[in-house]
Amino acid sequence: MPDWRQPPYSAICRLLGPTSAGTGWFAAPRVVATAAHVLASLQESPFVIVTAFGSVSPGGLHFTAYQLQGSGPGDSDDWGFVEIPAGLPLGCSVLKMCVPDTNYRGLCRVPAFDIAAPSAPLVEAFGQVSLVSAVRFLHTADTRPAYSGAPVVIAAAPVGFAAIGVHTDSNRSRTALDGDPGGGTAASARVYAIATSLTSSIQEQLGGAIR
């Protein structure tokens, strides 16, 4: 069980509302990255961002349109981010992001929380990156409802651990997207994650906060 008080896990946080929850991570000192559908489910009610060192209140929300049943490449842009006006909470760390080469076929990990247990500790699923395209990739890590928004992490020199995208369980109707013949809706099914657009969007909307 990972210790979320120590890097890189101290970058992971929980987005917790009255009836829904998701996982996110500090991609920059005042930016929590997550999945768009997590923010869509939370935007109508007050929610808090829970870290290993206490809770913080969110600022502005920024998220793309998402469509779980779509089949076009643009329909899987299921990512977004939350601004933290007060900046990085004391004790938390930032998990840097990198874009994997299209030939990358390595191990990945997904540190996340289980929606069924609000007080549950951080858990970690492991899998294999199976395909990387220009804007998304497939991996085989396990998925549960509140894993949405968690970072998909690899060991990347020279920065150590780095996030290569946002974990999102949005593969229900995309079994052939990007040439992948697999798919399905089981917990161990391959899932999609955004690999490039998140970084550029944060830089554009927040004036380079990701750097």
Going from N- to C-terminal start, the domains of the chain cover 9-94+201-205, 107-195
Among 2-6, 74-78, 169-173, 184-188, the range scoring the smallest mean pLDDT is: 184-188
Instruction: At 132, list the tokens.
Output: 């990387």
CA atoms of 20 and 146, how far apart (whole Å):
8
Higher local confidence (pLDDT), 128 or 120: 128
Residue 111 binned pLDDT confidence (cut-offs 50, 70, 90)? very high
Higher local confidence (pLDDT), 51 or 60: 51
Look at residue 142 in the predicted model and tell me its pLDDT.
Answer: 75
CATH architecture of 9-94+201-205: Beta Barrel (2.40)
Instruction: Give 199's Cβ-side CA count (13 Å radius).
Output: 14
Fold exhibited by the domain 107-195: Thrombin, subunit H (2.40.10)
Topology match between the domains 9-94+201-205 and 107-195:
yes
Rounded mean pLDDT of 104-115? 84
Instruction: At 113, list the tokens.
Output: 């929380």
For residue 18, CA distances in Å to 63, 65, 166, 211 come to 20, 23, 23, 33
Look at residue 186 in the predicted model and tell me its pLDDT.
Answer: 31
Higher local confidence (pLDDT), 146 or 72: 146
Rounded mean pLDDT of 151-156? 86
pLDDT digits (tens, 9 = 90+) for 9-34: 999 999 988 888 889 999 888 889 88
